[in-house]
Structure 1
Amino acid sequence: MTEQKIGFGGGCHWCTEAVFQSIIGVSKVAQGWIASEDKNMSFSQAGIVSFNPENISLKALIEIHLLTHASAANHSFRKKYRSAIYYVDQEQKSAVEVAFSEAKFVLDENSITKILPLCEFRLNEEEFLNYYQKRPNAPFCQTYISPKLEMLRQRYTKQLN
C-alpha cells in the first residue's frame, strides 16, 4: 500500500508535530496551518501527517490525535486551534468517518472534532519546524509536549519510535 497523507488540528501545531513524529509508520509531519471550507476557511494550527497504513492504522492515528489535544473542549480559541481531521479526497473521507466512529471511544467525553476537507496548507517558518526536536528542554516543550509524549509512551509503546 502506498503512503497516505491526512491533516490533524486541535492544539498547538508544535505539539501535533512532536506527537506524530514519534509514531512508527509516520514518515513526515508538515507543521503549519490548514484552511478548510465555508465557516472553517480561516487558517488554524495543524499538521499534515504522511504515513504508511501498513505500519499504523488510520484508527490508531485518530485515537492518538483525540488523546493528545483537548478534543472535547469547546474553548474560546477554537478558531486558532480547530479540533479537526482533514481528509484529502472523498475516498479518504469515508475511511476517516469509519475510523473516527471507532476511535472516539478512547475519550470519556464527546469529541467536538470535525471531519473537514483539507483545502489549503501553509507551512510554518523554518525556524519553528521540528520545534520539539530542536528544543526539548524549552519551557513550552516541557510543560505541554513532554507530558503528551509520556502518555503515548505508556499507552502506545509498540507504535513509538
Structure 2
Amino acid sequence: MNSLEKISFGGGCHWCTEAVFQALSGVRNVRQGFIRSTSPDDSWSEAVEVDFSPEEISLSDLLTVHLATHASTSRHSMRDKYRSAIYTISPEQSAMVTTELDRISAATDNEFVTRVLPHHGFKFSETRFHNYYATDPERPFCRTYIDSKMAKLQTQFSRIMKA
C-alpha cells in the first residue's frame, strides 16, 4: 500500500478548494475547515487538509494546481478569511515547498502572494458543508464559483484528474 503524506492549502473559500483537490488522482482525503498558523497568522482561515500519495501525484503538481485555481497573485482585502497559503507539517516539507514555489514562480513569471506557513491547528467546518460540490454541483454557488475552477482543471490538468 502507498504511504500517504499530508499538506494543507488555503486560498479561496474552502468549498472551492475542497472540490479542486477531491478531483485529483492520488488525493485520498480532503478535510474542509479552518487552519491557523503561528503568530501573526494565528487567526482561523478557510482551508483544507489533504492526504495524498506521492507515488501517484507529485507535490509539484499539487502546488501548481493550488496556485492556478485561486487568486494566488492578488492581495485583496479578504486575505485574513481567505489566506493564500500552503500549510506545511514539518521543516523539511516547508523547505521543499518553498523551493518548489520559487521554481513555479520563476517558470510562470508570477509573483505569488501565497505564503508557506507552519500548520498549527485545524478545525472542521460544519458537517453540512462537507463535500459541498460533490453532493450538489447544481447549487448557484457551485455554478458561479466552482464550475470555472473545475473547467480549468479539465483543460489544464486533465492528466492528473480522477477518471
| TM-score, length basis structure 1 | 0.96
One-letter code of the match for 1:32?
G
- Are 2:109 and 1:84 equivalent residues in the alignment? no
Tell me, in whole angstroms, the C-alpha distance in 1 between the residues paired with 2:108 and 2:19. 21
- Report the aligned-residue RMSD: 1.2
Aligned counterparts of 2:82 and 2:15: Cα–Cα separation in 1: 12
Residues 1:147 and 2:139 are matched in the alignment: no
1:102 is matched with which residue?
Answer: 103
Q: Secondary structure at the match of 1:31?
A: strand
Moved more, 123-132 or 104-113: 104-113
How much does 1:6 deviate?
Answer: 0.3
Equivalence for 2:42: 41
Partner of 1:50: 51
- Hey, what's the Cα distance between the residues in 2 that align with 1:106 and 1:132? 31
Long gaps (5+) in structure 1: none
**Identity of aligned pairs, percent?**
45
Q: Contact between 1:83 and 1:113, CA under 8 Å: does it hold in 2? A: yes
Cα offsets for 1:13-63 (capped at 9, x unmatched)? 000000000000000000000000111000000000110011111111001
Match in the other structure for 2:73: 72
TM norm structure 2: 0.95
> What is the total number of aligned residue pairs between the two structures?
161
Q: What SS does the corresponding residue of 1:17 show, helix, strand or coil?
A: helix
- 2 CA distance for matches of 1:19 and 1:106? 22
Alignment correspondent of 1:29: 30
Q: Give distance in 2, aligned partners of 1:143 and 1:105.
A: 31
